[in-house]
Amino acid sequence: MIVREALQGLLDALVAEGYRTLGPTLREDAIVHDDVTHVSELPVGWTDSQEAGHYHLQRREDDAWFGFNVGPHSWKRFLHPPLEPLWGARRNGNGFKITVPAPEPKLAFIGVRACELRAIAIQDRVFLGGRYSDDTYRARRMSTFIVAVNCAQASGTCFCLSMGSGPKAAAGFDLSLTELLGADRAMFLVEVGSEAGARMLQRIASRPPTEAELAAARAVLDRTAERMGRRLDTTRLRELLREQAEHPRWDEIAERCLTCGNCTMVCPTCFCTSVEDHSSLEGTVAERVRAWDSCFTLDFSYLHGGSVRHSTRARYRHWLTHKLSYWIDQFGTGGCVGCGRCITWCPVGIDITEEATALRAPGRAKKQGEAS
């Protein structure tokens, strides 16, 4: 156990070790991930209300430091950045000089939720588990220190319990915290997940928990699980999506979907990118960058002669089927962790749990020649 104020000592120790410390903070009416070096920068006493197409900050009745749900940012933006320079070239007299990005500082993530830990593990499989690995991702990932926080509440769009990814952090962290708000003093129950975490914990004052404190931590997690905002029946879901490729529900979704790509941008596991080459007007500087892309754009599936998935129906069907079915074939794991971001940040409130449930109902298959 540590007193809550001891978290500042942990931040100081991480900074002293050369880590860039990142955590939740208030900005532009949302709780986002950014640089945090002092506990006063945390969203103390704030929470959020989330439903399909709805996100709203509100004050809590207490001063909890982590009494909120996941926001629009996932930790993916630091391990797999939205825009990443790959290399550059600068004209130098009659020749040119190639430049590569400088090594980045070590990263320390503060307040990683259980579903986000699962998402990081999934991206590890994507970028590091195959025949070809991503060296820049590997460099960031191998030097990242993770402080997880067990969820004390669930939002209206959370369904991590259905996906087996929460609300308790099970693996993938160096230290894990459970916030206990007492009448006399707030505390954190600390679980050590690695040797690096054990060494860092030695830098701050701590003591063994009592049985009452362990029971209180279990009660926090039990309460969170009971209040999960959504459920998703995963029984035969992988096979179901393959069998229902011509279900009329896809047309109903297409009538609402804007193909804006918000769901893929906020998703902690989506990994699609495109590569772009830029050059200055005077021709002295050029660079190649990798940028996030989305399977909802026409250009993403463009081949000679046009887009393979030209309709909204086809693009949404591909995204949902890949996320919950074909992803398993590629990486041995599903691509959804139940964080609910795609539901909250969809402008028209399309709900992945609702759509998957609707596809279980029988529907008329499309006739030959009908558009898909």
Q: Is the confidence at residue 50, as pLDDT, over 90?
A: yes
Q: Considering 179, 206, 226, which residue would you say is the last residue of a domain?
A: 226
Residue 369 lies in a domain: no
The pTM score is 0.92
Residue 368 lies in a domain: no
Asked if residue 35 and residue 137 are part of one domain, the reply reads yes
- pLDDT the model gives residue 372: 45
Asked if residue 256 and residue 165 are part of one domain, the reply reads no
Residue 180 lies in a domain: yes
Asked if residue 279 and residue 218 are part of one domain, the reply reads no
Residue-wise pLDDT for 121-167, tens only, equals: 999 999 998 888 999 999 999 999 999 999 999 999 999 999 999 99
Residue-wise pLDDT for 225-278, tens only, equals: 999 999 999 999 999 999 999 999 999 999 999 999 999 999 999 999 999 999
| Alpha carbon distance 189, 197 (integer Å) | 14
The kind and range of the H/E element at 121 are helix 114-128
Asked if residue 287 and residue 187 are part of one domain, the reply reads no
**CA torsion, ordered 169, 153, 40, 199, to nearest 10 deg:** -20
Asked if residue 111 and residue 36 are part of one domain, the reply reads yes
Higher pLDDT, 308 or 180: 180
Q: How many domains in the chain?
A: 2
- pLDDT the model gives residue 367: 47
Asked if residue 173 and residue 260 are part of one domain, the reply reads no
For residue 328, give every residue at least 6 positions away whose Cβ sits within 8 Å of its Cβ, in sequence order, or none: 238, 334
Residue 363 lies in a domain: no
Asked if residue 269 and residue 191 are part of one domain, the reply reads no
Residues 96, 291, 135: CA angle, nearest 5 degrees: 70
Asked if residue 297 and residue 172 are part of one domain, the reply reads no
**Beta carbons within 10 angstroms of residue 106's beta carbon:** 17
Tell how far CA 368 is from the center of its chain.
Answer: 40
Residue 371 lies in a domain: no
| Alpha carbon distance 189, 181 (integer Å) | 11
CB 348 within 8 A of CB 159: no
Mean pLDDT of the chain: 93
| Alpha carbon distance 270, 123 (integer Å) | 8
Q: Is the confidence at residue 217, as pLDDT, over 90?
A: yes
Asked if residue 334 and residue 281 are part of one domain, the reply reads yes
Residue 372 lies in a domain: no
Q: Name the packing angle between helices 249-256 and 312-321 (round to 10°).
A: 110
Asked if residue 263 and residue 141 are part of one domain, the reply reads no
Q: Considering 167, 193, 226, which residue would you say is the last residue of a domain?
A: 226
Q: Considering 175, 198, 226, which residue would you say is the last residue of a domain?
A: 226
Write the DSSP assignment of 24-86 as a string of letters.
EEEETTEEEEEE--SGGGS-TTEEEEEETTEEEEEE-SS--SS-S---S--THHHHS-SEEEE
Residue 10 lies in a domain: yes
| Alpha carbon distance 186, 45 (integer Å) | 13
Phi, psi (rounded to 5 degrees) for 159: -145, 35
| Alpha carbon distance 266, 119 (integer Å) | 12
Asked if residue 264 and residue 157 are part of one domain, the reply reads no
CB 46 within 8 A of CB 67: yes
Give the tokens for residue 301: 């599936």
Cis ω before 209 (30° cut-off from 0): no
pLDDT class of 363 with cuts at 50, 70, 90: low
Residue 370 lies in a domain: no
The kind and range of the H/E element at 90 are strand 83-92
Asked if residue 323 and residue 191 are part of one domain, the reply reads no
Domain that holds residue 260: 237-358
